[in-house]
Amino acid sequence: MTSPVARICSELISLDTSNYGDGTGPGEASAAEYVEAFLQGCGLQPERFSTSSATRQVVVCRVPGQDPSAEALVIHAHLDVVPAVAQDWSVPAFEGTIHDDMVWGRGAVDMKDMDAMILTVVQQWQLHGIRPRRDIVLLFLPDEEAGGQHGAHWVVDHRPEILHGVTEGIGEVGGFSFELANRKRIYMIENAQKGLAWLRLRAFGTAGHGSLIADDNAVTRLARTVSRIGEHRFPVQLTPSVENFLVAACDAADIPFDRNDPEAALVQLGPLARMIGATLRHTANPTMLQAGYKNNVIPGEAEAVVDARFLPGLEADFFEQFDALLDEGITYEAEVRDISLATEFEGDLVTKMTEALTAEDPDAVPVPYTLSAGTDAKALSRLGIRCFGFAPLKLPADLDFAALFHGIDERVPVESLEFGVRVLDRFLRTA
């Protein structure tokens, strides 16, 4: 018999909500309709509405708490997924296949697993008459995978009243386990994230015939800059959240932490090292190139896109270093630019997350960490909401979980989903 959370996760994956970032995808309406119907079936009163177009849809639902005077907590979850190339996968990306005790498909990790866990907890509460300590606002959003301008940011700009009274929140990319070499399990709770800037670079030159000598070639000028950016390694800069993670991870691993050589600690993290390593420094990666229209015509303009991520609190420092990498005459503008975040790993909410994890896994070692990417928490922070990444999963030691975010054959163990439901249930009742 398929567990309820695995079935819900599978059904959500089967709804293709691919976000291509240019408005051409199917949108999130099918998943929003599913969530709305599910919550209505639980006896709740969700609201579903469109943002910038009919296919970009939000579902919001307030679950009443025992204390209506208490400040509310939001759980934000996105319904869109990145695209998948069918021929790259060993299973269909949008069927929600369940085999080998795992749910497979695009969104199984990012983040229809969390969507399913939330819905399962709420369904259990409604069946058994359970009410949380305070109001819980469920917020299912579109467009997170393209920066949230048609999702979380739109909500903050146009419908902030649905988050009235909310002071804290939880969302994706946190709370999952990683087993160290000494078999201890750390659970990474996200309390900081890098800022982002998707930058479009432009180079200008003299257009002409491809057979002539061209000293003022826009493609050449841009290629030099793109190569320089791609090969550059920004210096290590240890931020408080990253240092706190490395200290805690080293302590759990029974190894010393050398603040003067923080990269040495990454060897203990195996496949997780790439994810954590990206939080030790700024990054800037070229992702797109565009120039020309005919083989024998030197174009007068060339463009590139760079995905830049800057450390919390160091945005100006990043751009000072980035500007120094550009050839003379290269200009750029930010197509998407968003803030970094950081909050202290302390307080009642952190205590409740820690207690819920250790109740279900007595060997759990909860630790704070910085996310190298970003989430909808950036938008919600504009309303003064303090957010953490907490989508709890107890994972097999041999599963390279970090590689599954936006990866091929994305999948999540059924047991991990069931664990997450139990932890969220414990946490949200008293949070």
Distance CA(84)–CA(117), nearest Å, equals: 23
What the chain holds in terms of domains, given with CATH numbers, is 4-173+373-430 (3.40.630.10), 195-233+282-339 (3.30.70.360)
The per-residue pLDDT for 166 is: 98
Identify whether 111 is preceded by a cis peptide bond (ω within 30 of 0). yes
Instruction: Identify the pLDDT of residue 3.
Output: 94
Q: For position 266, what pLDDT does the model report?
A: 87
CA distances from 223 to 88, 200, 252, 301 (A): 29, 14, 45, 12
Q: For residue 341, give the nearest of 311, 305, 367, 303 by alpha carbon.
A: 311
Burial 156-177 (b: 16+ CB within 10 A, else e): beeeeebbebbbbbbbbbbbbb
The CA-based angle 394-398-402, given to 5 degrees, is 70
Handedness of CA 82, 85, 90, 94 (dihedral sign): positive
Instruction: Identify whether the C-beta of residue 381 lies closer than 8 Å to the C-beta of residue 354.
Output: no
Tens place of pLDDT per residue across the chain (431 aa) = 689 999 999 999 999 999 998 888 999 999 999 999 999 999 999 999 999 999 999 999 999 999 999 999 999 999 999 999 999 999 999 999 999 999 999 999 999 999 999 999 999 999 999 999 999 999 999 999 999 999 999 999 999 999 999 999 999 999 999 998 888 899 999 999 999 999 999 999 999 999 988 889 999 999 999 999 999 999 999 999 999 999 999 999 888 899 999 998 888 788 888 889 999 999 999 999 999 999 999 999 999 999 999 999 999 999 999 999 999 999 999 999 999 999 999 999 999 999 999 999 999 999 999 999 999 999 999 999 999 999 999 999 999 998 899 999 999 999 999 999 999 999 999 99
Amino acid 143: pLDDT: 97
